[in-house]
Structure 1
């Protein structure tokens, strides 16, 4: 057991001032010391900075500690004092040139940090020296920011995938059923068509889909998509063609994707939130041979050339003569030529910073995709999955593909409604919900009296992806619904990169997590070399599901088989990834690199703030400055000066937004992602 007094001595070949500057920077501690999940500056007390540290883990206990930083002699000594526990750490630096000697005296460390409670003095000394060594690596530029989960070891990966498939039950232990499953996959591949065929072989009468007003068993999905594929062939569609699918979440949309895949036809998943002009550009760029469109979305394609055939997907055609998916299924039979390659799905990028690009999704080459997600999100077989996230979005589509392997009954709704989601969870005892972050916020925004009407105790996995989750939102959700939240970081181009499970999020609420099975994540500098742990750089990802390229656009940068996500971030001491923001969002203000996301995170903790977005704008004096766009909660008395003062005390003067704009709502795309490019120069309620 650790004693009340521990002395730590270390020496490093770096300049004293460089290490001093790091140790006085609050963000250094969660980046280089294990067991520190977050560290934020609150305000000054008698001229001394007051920090709040999130310390520990769910296994050891998580504590919030307020630490006062008291500087003695500049560049020589300071203390980290915890008045609440009568504990402190005294830090002394000495040395000349490129040599620094560090002496730390820890008094009563077990009172402040649960991580060290069960350690011996020697283990505590090693823990402190390891953190100091990582800080020294930051100064020296040691290339340590690489996290790998079996991606570089084919044998280890294959063993891990096989173990995951057998332990999860994706592959049955019954030889006769397993053979039928594998025949379905061998026929159509590891895609939606193969997934439904394999599930139909194992559990033909189990419900596959429950959509608004309709249901489908796995047998019905397999048979109906055979018929629809035959009908598509009879109207002239075939391998090498591409069609557009403009639809909300319902059974007809899923059947179109599966049937086109069986026929070898590519499907461009059109975002229902796009303008008619943008859809016209996509139709021309992808040379689409036909369109499958919901009735209420027909107005978006009414000006397209009449030579492009259109079929109704939702059973609500705008004219009696328009053929519907149901009509095609009824006349299709089941015979069609099987293509050499199944059709691919083309998912549009979010277009938050410009024109959406079409990204060709690859065909999974085995069970690796399912194994990767299950390695971090332990979903069960034969359960119920609610997918309110749009299926034309990468994450909604990924949830649907995963559901076929798990033989899950999928609940779909054409439009998202927060209370309706809770009602469906309670009614169907759903265990998994696939969401985007704005849906998490909308559920929390419901009055407590509404949320308490529904029994959601069946939920074990609420899996969010598509945009960052604010730390305040993470903690509020888990306070309300338990430790069921998962945060997936990825993109249309790289599929998944990291997954944060509930333990990760309780420890560090803003983390994006760690790589799942078969994935490599690296944070690289401009020279494509890894930066040190804790240093910010470009996030690169490698896995077997990197996209097959854009349609008519140059691919992102590549390094050592990994793709650039376009995001900046860092890895902490535990190998958890943190995303700082898009590389084009970082601004340089007065010579300082400033990211919007820390400002957004800080403002999200204010109880008066419902939503916030921060962007960079030009500034004559400083080059660039931050501008904050805030949605206030009803009845709050928040004003711009309060926001500026709060950020000035929490972060730095360069992070203070000079412009504060109050809006009734933030502009969002159909998937819920904030469209920051629309904020600058857009309509406002009040600008200060």
Structure 2
């Protein structure tokens, strides 16, 4: 009976997202051929979408529009260009770019030649970029022109420009692709892959390998929980280098949508895009939701966003009041996705869940198991413990060979939480010192290590605090050396030179000494509160 119900559920979801829909036979056949040839993944999905809907808009960005056929051709041209430059299956290519057509063509082309995409955070420091490129053996670094300064210590011959306003001595993707064949290259000897990096605020970011799932069940789980429909417009505001933006792009390919991508998040632009393109879906992180809620009331009032059925949000804790404020301001469309780079999804909260139980992380999607464990044993409903999960999105481990903690077949999220009596999950926080700031995982250690090297700082400890704009932020308690004088702005300026921007402290408190116990550990409960 379970098999019959599963089959019926799959059919229902596939129909909604357009995988089962009337089409010209030759287009369906070619799309199926691509899936069989390449297996699930970006190359097959782009080729299949181009076969089914060649004239439909695939991307709208700051440069204009691309159809699916045009996107496919650009991907194929770049694939040939990369091969001509010596890129082989198994090679690694780092990608440091904002949301636009070139990050899409680069990701798909790199995978199409069987190489690894190393997706770097646009807030990475120069030292992080250099060390990551060396550690991961990056053959090339594709980056937007604005990040050339970050890459100033990288060999110029390793660089290729994605977005460029011209007048640079580094070749662009458009230039190296010009004149190349638009025919799809042969299937490589190994499949391409994607590596997403952790925020790296405890040291060098760790690379998390995402394995391509077998079969289509992950699509059923994702789209069963968040009701996307086929051939609709998605305003993808969450960054594509982030796992949340990437999963919506990657899974979205199967629905052959129109993606609206902008290099910079601007509330007025987002609202204009929703109205102009009659967008059904908006993909954001909580900070973006807050900025939309805080947008000019007159602009909100005169902009028609009634087409918006889905506001998919993830990346950091979502305050219950933010979800209701957003839905009161716009539409009842918020779907809060709780998960992580390593775990994939854990739970999803629907608009109904968020109305009835503000602050909930929601319920496990189809074929997803979530348990609350303490000391290896499942705790009773309502009791807090560590959240463990199993789903159809395999984690390939970190590039350094390590992996997450498992209990039987369940992966630890590292978070604490509990289920309520209606089966909704509530997340209490991390079981370590990590905070999530603006959608990024942030640890105090890296900032501590950087600040203690300041010539005028004698001692320092960093903690997490609540922050209206970023959800959470870092705050520093600093002891200055005798005779020295420092202000908060001095600390910020120094931090910006040595850590990623999301690890820069939002507040600083200067103390005569830190409360340490005999073993040298800081007794954080004795630290004074921030105002």
User: TM range, normalised to the smaller chain?
Assistant: 0.7 to 0.9
SS class of match (2:370)? strand
2:14 to 142, 165, 172: 165
Partner of 1:7: none
What TM-score do you get using the length of structure 2 for normalisation? Answer: 0.81
Partner of 2:65: 215
Partner of 1:290: 140
User: Residue by residue, what CA displacement relative to the aligned partner does 1:339-395 show, whole Å, maximum 9, x if unpaired?
Assistant: 133210111123455542111111132222221121111111111100111000001
Shift of 1:176: 4.3
Partners of 2:507 and 2:405 lie apart in 1 by 28
SS class of match (1:289)? strand
Partner of 1:573: 421
Partner of 1:303: 153
- For the 8 Å contact 2:238–2:283, the answer to whether it is kept is yes
Partner of 1:582: 430
- For the 8 Å contact 2:123–2:502, the answer to whether it is kept is no
Partners of 1:674 and 1:368 lie apart in 2 by 38
Partners of 1:178 and 1:375 lie apart in 2 by 23
SS class of match (1:549)? strand
Partner of 1:227: 77
User: Residue by residue, what CA displacement relative to the aligned partner does 1:250-276 show, whole Å, maximum 9, x if unpaired?
Assistant: 101100000011100101011110110
The answer to whether 1:357 aligns with 2:206 is yes
The answer to whether 1:547 aligns with 2:422 is no
- For the 8 Å contact 1:208–1:218, the answer to whether it is kept is yes
Shift of 1:439: 0.2
2:362 to 513, 522, 527: 513
Which structure 2 residues correspond to residues 182-221 of structure 1 after superposition, within 5 A?
182-221=32-71
Which structure 2 residues correspond to residues 131-150 of structure 1 after superposition, within 5 A?
none
Partner of 1:458: 307
Partner of 1:532: 380
Which structure 2 residues correspond to residues 47-446 of structure 1 after superposition, within 5 A?
157=6, 160-174=9-23, 175-306=25-156, 309-317=158-166, 319-320=168-169, 322-333=170-181, 334=183, 336-351=185-200, 355-446=204-295
Aligned residues: 469
Judged with a 3 Å threshold, the aligned counterparts in structure 2 of structure 1 residues 547 and 677 are, in CA distance, closer, same or farther, namely farther
Shift of 1:172: 2.7
Partners of 2:231 and 2:359 lie apart in 1 by 32
The answer to whether 1:559 aligns with 2:419 is no
User: Residue by residue, what CA displacement relative to the aligned partner does 1:568-598 show, whole Å, maximum 9, x if unpaired?
Assistant: 1111111111111111149xxxxxxxxx99x
Note the residue ranges of structure 1 that are not aligned, 5 or more in a row: 1-149, 587-595, 601-612, 617-623, 633-661
Note the residue ranges of structure 2 that are not aligned, 5 or more in a row: 446-460, 470-487, 512-528
Shift of 1:154: 7.2
Judged with a 3 Å threshold, the aligned counterparts in structure 2 of structure 1 residues 546 and 317 are, in CA distance, closer, same or farther, namely farther
Judged with a 3 Å threshold, the aligned counterparts in structure 2 of structure 1 residues 683 and 487 are, in CA distance, closer, same or farther, namely farther
Partner of 1:20: none
- For the 8 Å contact 1:160–1:517, the answer to whether it is kept is no
Partners of 1:497 and 1:459 lie apart in 2 by 24
SS class of match (2:302)? coil
User: Residue by residue, what CA displacement relative to the aligned partner does 1:155-203 show, whole Å, maximum 9, x if unpaired?
Assistant: 7655533442134422334454432221122222221211111111111
Bigger Rg, structure 1 or 2: 1
- For the 8 Å contact 2:201–2:443, the answer to whether it is kept is no
